[in-house]
Structure 1
Amino acid sequence: MFSLMSPTSLLVETPDRIAVARHYVMCPPDYFDVQYAINAWMDPGIPVDRGLAAAQWNGLRDAYLGLGHRVSLLEPLSGLPDMVFTANGATIVDGVAYEARFRHPERAPETLAHRAWLAGGVARAVQASAVNEGEGDFLVTERCILAGTGFRTEPAAHREVQELFGRPVVSLQLVDPRFYHLDTAIAVLDDGRASDRPDIAYFPGAFTPEGRAALTGLFPDALAVGEEDAAVLGLNAVGDGRNVVLPVQAGGLVADLRERGYHPVLVDTSELAKAGGGPKCCTLEVREPLSR
Structure 2
Amino acid sequence: MSPNVAAPSPRALVRPPAATLARGEVTHVVRTPVDVALAAEQWRGYVDALAQADFEIIEVAADDTLADSVFVEDAVVILGRVAVLTSPGALSRRAEIAGVEAVIAGLGLVERRIDLPGTLDGGDVLKIGATVYVGRGGRTNAEGIRQLTAIAADEGFDLVTVPVTRVLHLKSAVTALPDGTVIGHAPLVEHPELFDRFLEVPEETGAAVIVLAPDAVLMAASAPLTAVLFAEMGYRVVTVDISEFEKLEGCVTCLSVRIR
* TM-score where L is the length of structure 2: 0.88
SS of aligned partner of 1:52: helix
Structure 1 Cα separation of the partners of residues 20 and 239 of structure 2 = 22
| Residue from 164, 171, 180 that aligns with 1:174 | 164
Distance in 1 (alpha carbons) for counterparts of 2:236 and 2:44: 20
Matches within 5 A, 1:1-292: 9=7, 22-35=10-23, 37-41=25-29, 43=31, 46-129=32-115, 130-134=118-122, 136-166=123-153, 167-176=157-166, 179-190=167-178, 197-208=179-190, 211-215=191-195, 218-219=196-197, 222-226=198-202, 229-230=203-204, 233-240=205-212, 241-287=214-260
Following TM superposition, the consecutive aligned residue runs of length 4 or more in structure 1 with deviations greater than 3 angstroms are none
Q: How far apart, in 2, do the equivalents of 1:118 and 1:66 lie?
A: 23
Contact 1:26 / 1:284 at 8 angstroms: preserved in 2? yes
Quote how far apart the aligned CAs of 1:36 are.
Answer: 5.2
Instruction: Check the 8 A contact 1:272/1:278 in 2, yes or no.
Output: yes
How has the CA–CA distance of structure 1 residues 37 and 23 changed in structure 2, closer, same or farther, with 3 Å as cutoff? closer
Alpha-carbon distance in structure 2 between the residues aligned to 1:78 and 1:147: 30
Paired with 1:122 and 1:284, the residues of 2 have a C-alpha distance of 15
Give per-residue Cα distances to partners, 1:224-245, cap 9 Å, x unaligned.
123xx11xx2223212332111
Tell me, in whole angstroms, the C-alpha distance in 1 between the residues paired with 2:61 and 2:86: 18
Aligned residues: 249
Distance in 1, Cα, partners of 2:61 & 2:231: 36
Task: Give 1:120 deviation, angstroms.
Answer: 2.6
User: Taking structure 1 as the reference length, what is the TM-score of the superposition?
Assistant: 0.79
Distance 1:92 1:67, change over 3 A: same
Distance in 2 between residues matched to 1:62 and 1:33, nearest whole Å: 20
- Amino acid in the other structure paired with 1:247: A
| Shift in CA distance, 52/74, structure 1 to aligned 2, threshold 3 Å | same
Matches of 1:58 and 1:132, distance apart in 2: 28
* Structure 1 position 281, deviation (Å): 0.7
Deviation by residue 1:15-62 (Cα, 9 ceiling, x = unmatched):
xxxxxx52111111142522254422362xx43222111111111111
Identity %: 22
For 1:261 and 1:280, the matched residues in 2 are separated by 21
Is the alpha carbon distance of 1:69 and 1:180 closer, same or farther for their aligned partners in structure 2, counting shifts above 3 Å?
Answer: same
> Which ranges of structure 2 fall in alignment gaps of 5 or more residues?
1-5
Q: Does the 8 Å contact 1:118/1:124 carry over to 2?
A: no
CA RMSD of aligned residues (A): 1.9
Q: Distance in 2 between matches of 1:283 and 1:70?
A: 12
Task: Check 1:122–1:82 CA distance in 2 against 1; reply closer, same or farther (3 A cut).
Answer: farther
Unaligned runs of 5+ in 1: 1-7, 11-20, 191-196, 288-292
The equivalent residue for 2:3 is: none
